[in-house]
Amino acid sequence: MERTINVILSGGVGSRLWPLSRKSKPKQYLPIFNNKSLFALTIERNQKVCQHVMLVGSVQNIDLAKDDLAPVSHDIIVEAVPRNTAAAIAFAAFAANPDDILIVTPSDHLIEGEEQYLQAVKRGIEFAKEGYLVTFGINPTRPETGYGYIESEGNDVLSFREKPNVETAKDFLKSGNFLWNSGIFCFKASTYLHELERFDPKVYNAAKTAFDAAEDGVLDVELSRKIPSKSVDYAIMERSDSIKVVPSFFQWSDMGSFDSLYDYLVAKGHPRDEHGNMVIGETKHTVFLGVRNCVVVNTDDALLIMDKAFAQDVKHIYEQLEKENSGLV
């Protein structure tokens, strides 16, 4: 009998939320969303339509996830080295039954509006049962440059677009037929594997070899390194002719940077001064003088002081610290 499985991908660090997010505790495990983590909220949200959870992630992330997974039916696939989303989803599809419906979700997205979310997912499941690869497009509310876009007509996908500049994002918003690419997918396990083998046999074959050699759900390091690192968008979604998009109206953010976190905290009543300045993290008496729209992120061992407009650039700080083998990552 077919199952509906929530495939949760948890391999990232969240470098743009440094110094809150670290390798030892990535952003999806920080209990800062009404004292819950994004990972816990992902499980909770999808239990309404899924009978099982399948987590695909790094060794460190698996250890952090175990407490939240304990109450639910689940399997774990441990990635030896990160090989991007096309392979990660393939591992889950190999582990599932061919007719199982996979609802693939990142572990680090914030979603509010449960009724609208479940309505969209149920529509996606209908398309998946018909043999389509389904993606979920979010109705855009602003000319966002940090997200990819989907050009659509009804449920038909016309094109996928990379992260645009500000002027292009404004044009997308005016046109009315562009959606934010949420990174959430739905399809039969067999449909995904068929399309992956069709469009990227190198990823398919290398992932299958690594999966077949896995021991107790743990993938082999050397075999994993032979898998081409490609996103599911590049490997399949931008090439397949069996795609449907579900326009969705739930509130969504990938919580990928401090401007996203800032907006969330403002909506929840987190304090900021009359000039839009905010402190996130450890509590110290902080005074802003002569500056506007600044964010101070304060942890035990690091302090980030940032103009909110530069939120996307925090990853460069993280990358430099990583090159230096700093203990701060």
Q: How many structural domains is the chain composed of? A: 2
For residues 34 and 136, membership in a common domain is answered with: yes
For residues 232 and 296, membership in a common domain is answered with: no
Beta bridge partners of 304: 297
pLDDT (tens digit, 9 = 90+) per residue, 13-30?
Answer: 778 889 988 888 888 888
pLDDT of residue 246: 97
Given CA atoms 155, 158, 160, 162 in this order, what sign does their dihedral have? negative
For residues 242 and 269, membership in a common domain is answered with: no
pLDDT (tens digit, 9 = 90+) per residue, 105-163?
Answer: 999 899 999 999 999 999 999 999 999 999 999 999 889 888 899 999 999 999 999 88
Q: Which residue has the higher pLDDT, 43 or 23?
A: 43
Give the CA angle between residues 17, 21, 23 to the nearest 5°: 130
Q: For a pLDDT cut of 70, what percent of the chain falls above it?
A: 100
Of the three residues 223, 253, 283, the one that is the final residue of a domain is 253
What is the residue range of 145's domain?
A: 4-253
For residues 238 and 293, membership in a common domain is answered with: no
Of the three residues 210, 231, 253, the one that is the final residue of a domain is 253
For residues 242 and 264, membership in a common domain is answered with: no
pLDDT of residue 272: 92
pTM (predicted TM-score)? 0.88
- Identify whether 312 is part of a domain: yes
For residues 105 and 14, membership in a common domain is answered with: yes
For residues 124 and 264, membership in a common domain is answered with: no
Of the three residues 197, 227, 253, the one that is the final residue of a domain is 253
- Identify whether 232 is part of a domain: yes
Task: Please tell me the least confidently modeled range out of 3-12, 57-66, 190-199, 320-329.
Answer: 57-66
- In this predicted structure, the answer to whether residue 207 has a pLDDT above a threshold of 80 is yes
Rounded CA separation 55/8 (Å): 5
122 contacts: CB under 8 Å, gap ≥ 6: 49
Place 184 in a pLDDT band, splitting at 50, 70 and 90: very high
Rounded CA separation 125/234 (Å): 23
- Identify whether 328 is part of a domain: no
Range 169-196 burial, b when 16+ CB lie within 10 A, else e: beebeeeeebbbbbbbbbbbbebbbbbb
- Identify whether 329 is part of a domain: no
Q: How far apart are the first and last CA of the chain?
A: 45
Rounded CA separation 258/248 (Å): 24
CATH number at residue 92: 3.90.550.10
Yes or no: say if 222 and 112 are a contact pair by the CB < 8 Å rule.
no
pLDDT of residue 257: 85
pLDDT (tens digit, 9 = 90+) per residue, 55-111?
Answer: 998 877 788 888 999 999 999 999 988 899 999 999 999 999 999 999 999 998 999
pLDDT of residue 170: 94
For residues 71 and 210, membership in a common domain is answered with: yes
For residues 146 and 265, membership in a common domain is answered with: no
- In this predicted structure, the answer to whether residue 244 has a pLDDT above a threshold of 90 is yes
- Identify whether 169 is part of a domain: yes
Cis preceding-peptide flag for 31 (omega within 30 of 0): no
